[in-house]
Amino acid sequence: DGGITQSPKYLFRKEGQNVTLSCEQNLNHDAMYWYRQDPGQGLRLIYYSQIVNDFQKGDIAEGYSVSREKKESFPLTVTSAQKNPTAFYLCASSLWGNQPQHFGDGTRLSIL
């Protein structure tokens, strides 16, 4: 079955560490997105990518980095520069243009 796989489901980070969240899709979608969800707030866009080897900053890109070396994969690195990384992170993908986005099950990141 086609879908989006995010791993791990739960992730703990020590202060000062970088961590990478995985997102893989086998839907043959061109576009992929990373969102952050905080309690009581709507999802906010961190980064998105329309095609391989290209990506754009979203509304809250500071402290994050991404890569898009393969169509299927769009990993997100939460760097030590992100001062408040504790949140729920969702990856999504879609065909390009005005198409529905398919979401993964999310990764919950916590700081130890």
Partner 1 sequence: KNEVEQSPQNLTAQEGEFITINCSYSVGISALHWLQQHPGGGIVSLFMLSSGKKKHGRLIATINIQEKHSSLHITASHPRDSAVYICAVKSTYTVSLGDSGGGADGLTFGKGTHLIIQP
| 43 part of the interface to partner 1, by CB under 8 A | yes
One-letter amino acid of 45: L
Q: From the CB of 22, what's the least distance to partner 1, in Å?
A: 16
**How many other β-carbons are positioned within 10 Å of the β-carbon of residue 70?**
11
| 88 part of the interface to partner 1, by CB under 8 A | yes
Q: From the CB of 7, what's the least distance to partner 1, in Å?
A: 13
**DSSP characters for 57-76?**
E-TT-TTEEE--SBTTB--E
Report how far residue 60's alpha carbon sits from residue 73's, in angstroms, rounded to the nearest whole number.
21
Nearer to partner 1, 19 or 92 (CB): 92
Q: Which residues of this protein are in contact with partner 1, per CB under 8 A?
A: 31, 33, 35, 40-45, 48, 50, 56-59, 61, 88, 90, 92, 98-106, 108
